Amino acid sequence: MQTKATPAPDAAADSSADRREWLSLLARANPADLAACLRQAPELPPFTRLRGPEAGLVMLRGRLGGSGDMFNFGEMTLARCSICDSAGRVGHGYAAGRDLAEVELIARLDAVLQDPALAAPYRRAVLAPLAASEAARRTAVTARAAATRVDFFTLATMR
């Protein structure tokens, strides 16, 4: 009798953390940047749609003071898609807005990135450039914010 090997709990936690990171990066990516990166990557495997792509509204919830009572902050448009590729991997894509083509690409990338044997070229061609672009944008925003910084300690000692 053969038993099925189960992955170590740490391996499963690491893989879900990695998946959470790449889905987050893909959801925040500019659709034009995502399409440009995909032109440098190998062709994605064929797929079938399980759900969508479709757009709808989600309710945003907030808390007063971060720990107070919950309240409905407002609504936001969200697009989603779920696919199954030719190898049977299921991928999901979610992104703010109504870009249905973008969420389908995110779902296809999610499916292929789950396979360690196929993930490396997509990490190099898609995830690495998107992460570098996001880091550059964050650095520019931080630099602009730092230029407007006022040191109130100096003002307080001038009395």
Helical (H) or strand (E) element with 156? helix 152-156
**pTM metric for this prediction:** 0.77
- Average pLDDT of the residues in 105-111: 93
- Give yes or no for residue 2 having a pLDDT over 80: no
Report yes or no: 92 and 47 within 8 Å, Cβ to Cβ: no
The pLDDT score that the predictor gives to residue 157 is 59
Cα-based distances in Å from 84 to 61, 71, 112: 31, 36, 10
Question: Is residue 10's pLDDT more than 80?
Answer: no
127 contacts 22 by C-beta, under 8 angstroms: yes
Tokens of 75: 């609504």
pLDDT in tens, 24-83: 999 999 888 898 898 888 889 899 999 989 999 999 998 888 788 899 989 999 999 999
Q: What is the pLDDT of residues 109-158, one digit of tens each?
A: 999 999 988 888 999 999 999 999 999 999 999 989 888 887 776 555 55
Q: What is the pLDDT of residue 109?
A: 93
Check residue 15 and give its pLDDT.
73
- Per the model's pLDDT, the better-predicted residue between 22 and 154 turns out to be 22
Alpha-carbon torsion, ordered 41, 47, 50, 53, to 10 deg: 50
